[in-house]
Chains A and B, each alone.
Chain A
Amino acid sequence: MAIVLKITPTRFRASDSKLDSQRRYIRKVSSGEDLRFVNGQNMDVSGGGLRYVQPTGTAVDDGVYDGSFIGTTGTRIKV
């Protein structure tokens, strides 16, 4: 039988355990992130070279890239 809601001193489960305190859920935070979600183009090519924009927004070029792509900073995610 599906668990609708079950609360014990050490565990919380709801909606057939779709929500379970023993799992790790991700959420958007303003700081202290564990990872970032990229939501747009994060590479560009120009002059035969490549720019990769890290989720932090830092651009990494291959030494050949001659464009001006900026990219976007990824969304901060906490696990």
Chain B
Amino acid sequence: MSGFTASSSRIRVVETIGSVDETVFDTDDDMPHIVGTTYLASVAVDFDNLTQTVSYVGDSCIATESLERVNVYNPSVWSAFFVWTPSSYDWYYDTYTAGFMSFDRTYTPGFMSHEWEWVYDPCGYTIPYFEYSVDAEEYSSVTNIADLPTDEDGTALDVDFVIVQATGIRTTGGKDARFDQSLPTTVPTKTFSFQGSLLLESSGEASGGSWFRRIMSVYPSGSKLKLKVQESVKSLSRGAYDSAFPHIGETRSTYSFNLKVFFGKFRQ
């Protein structure tokens, strides 16, 4: 049943919804409250250009055709032939000799001769070929962007949660190293809130797998509010020889954020 109770150090309010008593407020629970608010204007986030490396892959053959004097060996040859000896008649002795066939052959020895001809060489000379790849990189930087709220003695409070309300713009739109188009950014154009981390940019391979990520995180640590900026790049091959990544020098992205940071605690 809805009700209010106050006893010694406890205040409790119960709201009955249907037949269920739901606690609206109970000082025995850890109730959240904001212990400090900080405004941070023009917080800069800067990602450098990516880099690429060219690597020797191999040599490719270039076919040639040249007019050259070449030795030609003419092999030895046996020539066989029949020889017909015609009949004859000797009037003096009155003798007749019949004609007949005989077999004879001649031998021509082998010899060398020379002649000019076009000679084709499928690998007359070679030229090297190269492949470009985006360099793998793991970048991380952590900066203090604010002090945490303090108590009366100036000691930083151990805050239990931080809520960041932000507006941000991408002041430099980095391009995908492969294409003449900006990397998609997930930063909305209007005010948004987040706790922890925020994905800023990403890109995938043709197969769909991720190769590139840029994120930022805002969180308390010690007596400071930290901004951590991270970039992770997996080496990416060009997929074609002797062709550099055309937009590698335009991959830098910069952001500017206005942050309203709420520091909260559940108990004093």
Q: How large is the interface on B (under 10, 10 to 19, 20 to 34, 35 or more residues)?
A: 35 or more
Binds A, one of B57-65, B165-173, B193-201, B240-248: B193-201
Judge whether A21 and B232 touch: CB under 8 Å: no
Instruction: Pick from A24, A27, A77, A78 the residue with the most CB of B within 10 Å.
Output: A27
Structural contact, A40 and B202, CB atoms closer than 8 A: no
Residues in A neighbouring B99, C-beta threshold 8 A: none
Instruction: Count A interface residues, CB 8 Å.
Output: 37
Q: Which residue of the partner chain, among A21, A52, A64, A65, contacts B25 with CB atoms under 8 Å?
A: A21
User: Nearest chain-B residue to A48 (Cβ)?
Assistant: B234
- Also in contact, A50 and B32, with CB within 8 A (given A21-B13, A23-B24, A41-B197): no
CB distance from A78 to the nearest CB of B (A): 8
- CB within 8 Å of B: which A30-52 residues: 37-50, 52
- For the complex, give the distance between the alpha carbons of A7 and B212 in Å: 58
- Of A28, A38, A44, A48, which contacts B30 at CB under 8 A? A28
**Closest CB in chain A relative to B38 CB, distance in Å:** 16
Report whether B4 and A21 are in contact in the complex, using a CB–CB cutoff of 8 Å: yes
Question: Using a CB–CB distance below 8 Å, which chain B residues touch chain A?
Answer: 2-4, 13-15, 23-26, 29-32, 136, 138, 159-162, 195-199, 202, 209-215, 217, 219-220, 228, 230-234, 264, 266
The 30 sampled A-B contact pairs (Cβ below 8 Å) are: A7-B4, A12-B24, A21-B4, A21-B14, A21-B25, A22-B15, A27-B23, A28-B29, A38-B161, A38-B195, A39-B195, A39-B220, A40-B219, A42-B217, A43-B198, A43-B199, A43-B217, A44-B197, A45-B215, A47-B234, A48-B213, A50-B199, A50-B215, A50-B232, A52-B197, A63-B210, A64-B211, A65-B210, A75-B266, A78-B29
Closest 3 CB pairs of A and B: A48-B234, A43-B197, A28-B30
